[in-house]
Amino acid sequence: MKALEELKKEFTDITRLNHIRSLLGWDEMVNLPKGSFGARGEQNALMSKIVHERLISDKIGKLVKEAEKLTDLNLVDSATLREAKRDYEQEIKLPTELVEEISKTSSLGYVKWVEAREKNDFSIFQPVLEKLVGLQIQVAEKLDTHPDPYSTLIDLYEPGATYDWIANIFNKSKQNLNRIIKKLDGSSDKP
C-alpha cells in the first residue's frame, strides 16, 4: 500500500500544479495587461513542462508498477491507480517540447482570438488555429491509441469514446431535432 499512497501524494502535487496553471490561464483571460501576454505564454509553457516532467518521471513509473502488484484494492483505489497509469502511459509518449509548444501556442492563440474577435477578422486567428490543429495531430500520432486521430484525441477527454460513438449521438440528436422543428413549423404557436 505504500506505493499507492506515494502515488496518491505525487498526483495530489500534480493536481496542485495544474491548479496553478489554471489560475495563470484565468488571469491571462481576465486581468492581464495586453503587453504581458508573451511573458505569460512562457510561464504557461514552463508550468506545462514542470507538470509533464513530473508525470513522466521514473518515480511515477516505478510507483505505478509497484502499485499494480497490490491486490484487493477498493473501488476508489483501483480507479486512482487506473487513472494514474493512464495519465503516465499517455504523457510518456509525448515529447516535452511538444507539450511546451502546445502551451505557448495556446496562449498566443488566445491573444490572437481576442484581437480577431475585436476586429471581426478571422485571418488574424487562422494561422495560430492551423498551428494548434497541427500540434494536436502530432499528439494523436504520438499516442496512436485508435485507428483515426480524432478518436485518439476524443479519448483524452472522454475515455472510451470514439468518433463513431459521438457521430452516432449527433445523428440521433439531429433526427430528433428535425422532428421537433417540423412539429414547430406546423404549429400555430410560434416561439
pLDDT value of residue 117: 97
Evaluate the CA torsion angle 93, 98, 104, 108 in order and state its sign.
negative
Q: How far apart are CA 65 and CA 61, in angstroms?
A: 6
- Which pTM does this prediction carry? 0.84
DSSP state of 34: G
Model confidence pLDDT, tens digit, residues 138-187: 999 999 999 999 999 999 999 999 999 999 999 999 988 988 888 888 77
**What integer pLDDT is reported at residue 32 of this predicted model?**
81
The domain spans of the chain are 2-120
Amino acid at 92: I
Contact between 99 and 52 under an 8 Å Cβ cutoff? The reply is: yes
| pLDDT over 90 (residue 41) | no
Q: How confident is the model at residue 39 (pLDDT cuts 50, 70, 90)?
A: confident
The dihedral built from the CA positions of residue 46, 51, 56 and 60, taken in this order, carries a sign that is: positive
Check: CB of residue 21 under 8 Å from CB of residue 84: no
CA distance 57 to 7: 12
More confident residue, 6 or 188: 6
Query: How far is Cα 82 from Cα 68, in angstroms, rounded to an integer?
Result: 9
Query: Which residue's entry shows cell 484581437?
Result: 115
What gap in Å lies between CA 12 and CA 89, rounded to an integer? 18
Residue 1's pLDDT band, with cuts at 50, 70 and 90, is confident
The whole-angstrom separation of Cα 85 and Cα 146 is: 18
Please state the separation of Cα 159 from the chain's center in Å: 12
Residue, of 184 and 191, whose pLDDT is higher: 184
Give which of 41, 48, 38, 39 is closest to 17, Cα–Cα.
48
Residue 82: CA atoms inside 13 Å, Cβ hemisphere, count?
8
Q: What is the pLDDT of residue 191?
A: 62
pLDDT tens digit string along 72-131? 999 999 999 999 999 999 999 999 999 999 999 999 999 999 999 999 999 999 999 999
Q: What's the pLDDT band for 35 if we cut at 50, 70, 90? A: confident
Which residues 6+ apart lie within 8 Å of 112 measured at CB? 124, 125, 127, 128
pLDDT tens per residue, range 11-30? 999 999 999 999 998 988 88
